[in-house]
Every structure is written in C-alpha cells, then in structure tokens.
Amino acid sequence: MSLGRRAFLRSALGATASAALLPVTARAQAAPPKVIVVGGGFAGASCARALRVVDPHIAVTLVEPSTTFTACPFSNGVIAGLRELSAQQFTYDHVAAAGITLARTTATAVDAPARTVTLADGARLPYDRLVLAPGIDIRWGALAGYDEAAATPMPHAWKAGEQTLLLRRQLEAMADGGLVVISAPANPFRCPPGPYERASLIAHYLKTRKPRSKLIVLDAKDTFSKQKLFQQAWTELYPNLLEWVPLSKGGAVTSVEPATRTLVTDFGRHKAAVASVIPPQKAGHIAEVAGVADRTGWCPIDPATFESKLQPSIHVIGDAAIAGAMPKSAFAANSQAKTCAAAVAQLLAGTPPPVPKLINTCYSLVAPDYGISVAGVYRPTNGQLADIPGAGGVSPSEAPRSARAQEATYAEAWFRTITAEVFG
C-alpha cells in the first residue's frame, strides 16, 4: 500500500514535468490566469510565492509600496534592546526573482464586478482572482484621545518600524524609577500574546537596566493568550516589577491624554514616563474599499478557500480575515497563504478545492532564554475555522527552565525559517 502510493506519487510528480509539455497548445491559446496579491507581509508574500510553486503558469503580481518589509514577530526584542531592527528587515529581491511582478505602489480601489484593481498611479490591473492581505489598520479615535499624533508620545509599535525604534528610544531615555504603562485592547487584534510578550521583555529590560522602575499593563480583557504561563513566569522573574490589571479590576483604558502621557480608566489615572498604547484595530484600508470588510471592520471568509463571503473572486488572508479559532499571527498568515494559493490554483483550473487543515504555532519570549508556545490545528467546521478537539494547546505549566530555554531557541529558529521561506 505504501509502496503503491509512493509509486503513484512518483508517477504523479513525473507527470508534472511531462504535462508541462502536453497541454501547451491548449494553454497557449488562453492567456495565463492573472492573480493579484495586495500586501507584501507574511500572508501576501507567502501567497504570491506559493502560487508560483503550485502553478508556474499563473501570472502573479504583488502590490506593495514598501521596498523593505519589517517583521513584527521578535520586534518586542528590538524594543527591549535585545536585537536590532535590521534583523527584522527583508527586501523583496527574492520574491521578484521567483517570477512575481512587483507593483511598488498602493492599491487604491477594487472594482469587484469588473475584476480590476486600481493603483495609486491610476493604472487598472485586471485579475481572475484577487488576494487581499492588507494586515491591520489602527482605528484612530476608537480610544478617546488616541489619534495619529498621539502615536508619537505614546507609541503603539504594533506595525514594526519607526514606531518600534521610537518606543525603544523612550525606554532608553527614561530615568530609573520611571513608570511604564502598556494598554492592551479587547479582542480581536493582531498577535494575541504580543502585549504580554512586550510587557515581559520590557520588564526584563527594566530589571537589568533600571531596577527601581515599574511596569503596569492595563487590559481591556480578563483573560489572554498563554495567560497562565505568562503569569507564572512573571511571578518567578519579575515580582514587584510587573503588574497586570484586568478589565474586572478597572484595567480598561477609556481615554488617553498624550500631552502628559496619561492613561485614564474608570478607576483612576496613570501618568506614565513611557506609555505604549496598543489600540483597537481593523482590517487594512483596501479591505474596506473592496467591500470585503463587514461591520466589525474584519473580513468574513470561506474557511476552505479564504474567498470573501461578501465579494466573489476576492480572497482575504492573514490578520485582516475572520479566521475563527486561528489567531492573527505570522505563522497562521503563512499557513493560510499556502492553503489559499492551492485553492486559488484549483478554482482557476475548475477543480473544487479539498477541505484543508491548517496549523498555527506561536512562540513568545518571557525573557531572552525563556520561551513559551501555543499551537493549534484547525479545519472548517460550520462555516468557520475551528480547533480540532484534542489537538493543540500551550506549553506545559510544569517544566524545567531547560525546556523554556529550548523553546526560546526554537522561537528564534522559527523566525529564521519562516522569513527564509517567505523572503529568502
């Protein structure tokens, strides 16, 4: 049976090469199918490359204005002075070398019935299938007082780059004994464990550099990702330094006053020396323009193909999508991108895509040598991506420090591996 399957696989893979010759006449008559991918992050760049692998016949255009991608995973390490921003940055040279056309501009409009994307320079590109991977936009003003100007005195640093460096410089400039405040938003938002990893690594920075300082996390929630593991590590590593205030204890920030770096809750005012406000978010702007975002600001999708439930022939992947139990993580974005690419190729070929299974693995650092993880396996269930019961979960709560050190090593290896796959 296994031999039979392997023989079949071999012949099937062999057929790929010969079939490249066989249907040439049929294919030459039809123009190559056009797929446009908007957004060059983990989701979009992964999808563009996966499309070229699944079917090199597809003409893929990636619309992305930046010449450099700055990765969010591990950017909390940059804030805490553990690594440089350059370690987070990647060019699109290898993406272009994979045969993908780069449109180094912004997509400004989508005409779904006509199947065209309009670019900032006025060009209109036709598509057979469109993949939107726009990531997140900040909902400026959703938290009273937090507008674009407020992001300078109170950096969100939730899109890596200048904001990341700004928050780092503010921490470096802070005197020992200062109060650092982080505010975490209600669900859903990009990188569910991110605010708590940020708190952990800033606490590590304070403990080693400015030990008389204090860190408060004001949270709009009562529970969060990997909570037990984080809290256990905080007790062990940062007692009396890091305080988490949940919603039920008055943690929800109701407004901010950027001029004095003050965060206001129903229970009091916190005047910070350094404040990082992680604000409410929504799908990136083009999702709204294309009509694929619903009233929540996020994009409902078919869980098997990632095709929008609101517009035909438009797929949405990554942080912008409503992916059920899958978190808004880089690993999930990459897994969705490859699944979506396969589905797009099959839909273009007129084949019904199979029911997929997707995976997420997400590491957080509580200290440079202390990693924890959450994993999940997902499949479409009742129109949503749902956890497969019995699979997934977090690192064991009882584990020796050597196991935490090993997970920190794996976290770094994961970053190297995924960025090499997507941008290398």
Partner 1 sequence: MVKWLATAIGSATIAVAVVAAAEPPVGAVSCSGCHPSSSRVTSPVPRLAGRDKAELAKALQDFRSGARPGTVMDRIAKGFTDEEIQAIAAWYAAQQP
Residues contributing to the site for partner 1 (CB under 8 A): 1-2, 4-6, 8-10, 12-13, 15-16, 19, 22-23, 26-27, 50, 54-55, 331, 334-335, 338-339, 342, 345-346, 349-351, 354-359, 361, 373, 375-378, 388, 390-393, 395, 403, 406-407, 409-410, 413-414, 416-418, 420-421, 424
Strand blocks (E) in 301-357: 314-316, 321-322
Q: How far is the CB of 403 from partner 1 (least distance, A)?
A: 8
> Which one, 107 or 385, has the nearer CB to partner 1?
385
Q: How far is the CB of 365 from partner 1 (least distance, A)?
A: 15
8 A C-beta contact, residue 181 and residue 216: yes
Residue number, 287 or 348, with CB nearest to partner 1: 348
- Nearest one of 192, 198, 199, 254 to 223, comparing CA atoms: 192
Q: How far is the CB of 354 from partner 1 (least distance, A)?
A: 6
Give the up-direction half-sphere exposure of residue 333: CA atoms within 13 A in the CB hemisphere: 30
Confirm if 290 and 132 have CB atoms less than 8 A apart: yes
Residues linked to residue 126 through DSSP beta bridges, in sequence order: 116
User: 316: which strand partners?
Assistant: 132
Residue with Cβ nearer partner 1 (30 or 114): 30
CA distance 199 to 230: 10
Q: Considering beta carbons, is residue 244 or 414 the nearer one to partner 1?
A: 414
Closest separation between CB of residue 321 and partner 1, Å? 16
Q: How many CA atoms lie within 13 A of 311 on its CB side?
A: 24
CB of 39 vs partner 1, minimal distance in Å: 19
Tell me the C-alpha distance between 319 and 137, whole Å.
Answer: 10
- Minimum CB–partner distance for residue 162 and partner 1 (Å): 28
Asked if residues 8 and 33 have their Cβ atoms less than 8 Å apart, the reply is no
Spatial distance between the Cα atoms of 355 and 301, rounded to a whole number of angstroms: 14
CA–CA dist 290, 308 (Å, integer): 10
State which residue, 108 or 406, has the beta carbon closest to partner 1: 406
Residues contacting 15, CB < 8 A, separation 6+: none
Q: Toward partner 1, which CB reaches closer, 126 or 424?
A: 424
Cα–Cα distance measured from residue 144 to residue 142, given in angstroms and rounded to the nearest whole number:
6
CB-nearer residue toward partner 1: 23 or 211:
23
Residue closer to partner 1 by CB (options 86, 402) is 402
In the complex, the smallest distance separating the C-beta of residue 274 from partner 1, rounded to whole angstroms, is 33
- Closest contact distance (angstroms) between CB of 389 and partner 1 is 9
Q: Is the peptide bond before 188 cis (omega within 30 degrees of 0)?
A: yes
